[in-house]
Protein backbone atom coordinates (compact mmCIF):
# COMPACT_ATOMS: atom_id res chain seq x y z
CA UNK A 1 0.00 0.00 0.00
CA UNK A 2 1.48 3.35 -1.00
CA UNK A 3 1.46 6.58 1.01
CA UNK A 4 -1.63 7.99 -0.74
CA UNK A 5 -3.60 4.80 -0.12
CA UNK A 6 -2.57 4.81 3.56
CA UNK A 7 -3.65 8.45 3.88
CA UNK A 8 -7.00 7.71 2.20
CA UNK A 9 -7.52 4.64 4.37
CA UNK A 10 -6.94 6.71 7.51
CA UNK A 11 -9.46 9.28 6.22
CA UNK A 12 -12.11 6.58 5.70
CA UNK A 13 -11.39 4.81 9.01
CA UNK A 14 -11.92 8.07 10.88
CA UNK A 15 -15.39 8.15 9.27
CA UNK A 16 -16.33 4.67 10.43
CA UNK A 17 -15.32 2.55 7.44
CA UNK A 18 -13.67 -0.84 7.92
CA UNK A 19 -11.09 -2.15 5.48
CA UNK A 20 -12.08 -5.41 3.78
CA UNK A 21 -9.32 -5.50 1.15
CA UNK A 22 -6.50 -3.34 -0.18
CA UNK A 23 -4.74 -3.56 -3.52
CA UNK A 24 -7.05 -6.48 -4.28
CA UNK A 25 -6.01 -8.27 -7.47
CA UNK A 26 -8.88 -9.93 -9.27
CA UNK A 27 -7.79 -11.25 -12.63
CA UNK A 28 -6.21 -8.34 -14.44
CA UNK A 29 -8.00 -5.75 -12.32
CA UNK A 30 -6.89 -4.08 -9.10
CA UNK A 31 -9.02 -2.36 -6.49
CA UNK A 32 -7.14 0.09 -4.28
CA UNK A 33 -9.49 0.02 -1.27
CA UNK A 34 -12.57 -2.07 -0.51
CA UNK A 35 -14.33 -0.67 2.57
CA UNK A 36 -17.52 -1.28 4.48
CA UNK A 37 -19.64 0.81 6.80
CA UNK A 38 -22.93 -0.73 7.80
CA UNK A 39 -24.80 -1.85 4.66
CA UNK A 40 -22.55 0.18 2.34
CA UNK A 41 -19.74 -1.44 0.39
CA UNK A 42 -17.35 1.18 -0.97
CA UNK A 43 -14.85 0.63 -3.79
CA UNK A 44 -12.24 3.40 -3.84
CA UNK A 45 -9.74 4.31 -6.55
CA UNK A 46 -6.94 6.35 -4.95
CA UNK A 47 -4.74 8.81 -6.84
CA UNK A 48 -1.97 10.86 -5.26
CA UNK A 49 0.16 13.78 -6.37
CA UNK A 50 2.83 15.39 -4.27
CA UNK A 51 2.15 18.91 -5.53
CA UNK A 52 -0.17 21.01 -7.65
CA UNK A 53 2.33 21.70 -10.44
CA UNK A 54 1.18 18.71 -12.49
CA UNK A 55 -2.57 19.07 -11.98
CA UNK A 56 -5.04 17.54 -9.58
CA UNK A 57 -4.75 13.81 -8.80
CA UNK A 58 -8.36 13.13 -9.79
CA UNK A 59 -7.59 14.32 -13.32
CA UNK A 60 -5.69 11.04 -13.80
CA UNK A 61 -8.94 9.03 -13.75
CA UNK A 62 -10.41 8.53 -17.20
CA UNK A 63 -13.36 6.54 -18.55
CA UNK A 64 -11.21 3.43 -19.03
CA UNK A 65 -10.11 3.52 -15.37
CA UNK A 66 -13.73 3.85 -14.26
CA UNK A 67 -14.66 0.86 -16.44
CA UNK A 68 -11.81 -1.20 -14.95
CA UNK A 69 -12.82 -0.35 -11.37
CA UNK A 70 -16.42 -1.38 -12.06
CA UNK A 71 -15.30 -4.64 -13.72
CA UNK A 72 -12.90 -5.34 -10.85
CA UNK A 73 -15.65 -4.73 -8.32
CA UNK A 74 -17.95 -7.23 -10.04
CA UNK A 75 -15.15 -9.80 -10.13
CA UNK A 76 -14.35 -9.16 -6.45
CA UNK A 77 -18.01 -9.53 -5.49
CA UNK A 78 -18.21 -12.85 -7.33
CA UNK A 79 -15.55 -14.11 -4.92
CA UNK A 80 -17.42 -12.66 -1.92
CA UNK A 81 -21.07 -13.56 -2.60
CA UNK A 82 -22.11 -12.92 1.01
CA UNK A 83 -21.60 -9.19 0.41
CA UNK A 84 -23.59 -8.98 -2.83
CA UNK A 85 -26.73 -7.64 -1.08
CA UNK A 86 -24.93 -4.53 0.24
CA UNK A 87 -25.29 -1.12 -1.39
CA UNK A 88 -22.34 -0.85 -3.79
CA UNK A 89 -20.80 2.61 -4.08
CA UNK A 90 -17.79 3.79 -6.09
CA UNK A 91 -15.57 6.73 -5.17
CA UNK A 92 -12.29 8.26 -6.21
CA UNK A 93 -10.03 9.71 -3.54
CA UNK A 94 -7.54 12.35 -4.62
CA UNK A 95 -4.69 12.77 -2.15
CA UNK A 96 -2.52 15.88 -2.13
CA UNK A 97 -0.30 16.14 0.93
CA UNK A 98 -2.57 15.62 3.94
CA UNK A 99 -5.73 16.52 2.04
CA UNK A 100 -8.11 13.84 0.78
CA UNK A 101 -10.83 14.83 -1.68
CA UNK A 102 -13.60 12.32 -2.34
CA UNK A 103 -15.81 12.30 -5.44
CA UNK A 104 -18.31 9.76 -6.76
CA UNK A 105 -16.90 7.48 -9.45
CA UNK A 106 -19.70 7.25 -12.01
Q: What is the CATH number for 90?
A: 3.40.1350.10
Confidence of residue 64 (pLDDT cuts 50, 70, 90): very high
pLDDT band at 52 (very low <50, low <70, confident <90, very high): low
Q: Are strands 18-26 and 29-37 parallel, antiparallel or unpaired?
A: antiparallel
Structural domain of residue 20, as residue ranges? 3-104
Structural domain tally of the chain? 1
Proportion of the chain above pLDDT 90, given as a percent: 82
Q: What is the pLDDT of residue 85?
A: 94
> Does position 51 have pLDDT exceeding 80, yes or no?
no
Quote the pTM value.
0.92
For 59-78, b/e burial (b = at least 16 CB within 10 A) is eebeeeeeebbbebbebbbe
Amino acid sequence: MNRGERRALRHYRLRGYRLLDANARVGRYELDLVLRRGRRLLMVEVKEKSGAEFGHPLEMIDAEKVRRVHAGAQAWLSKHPGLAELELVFEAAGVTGRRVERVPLA
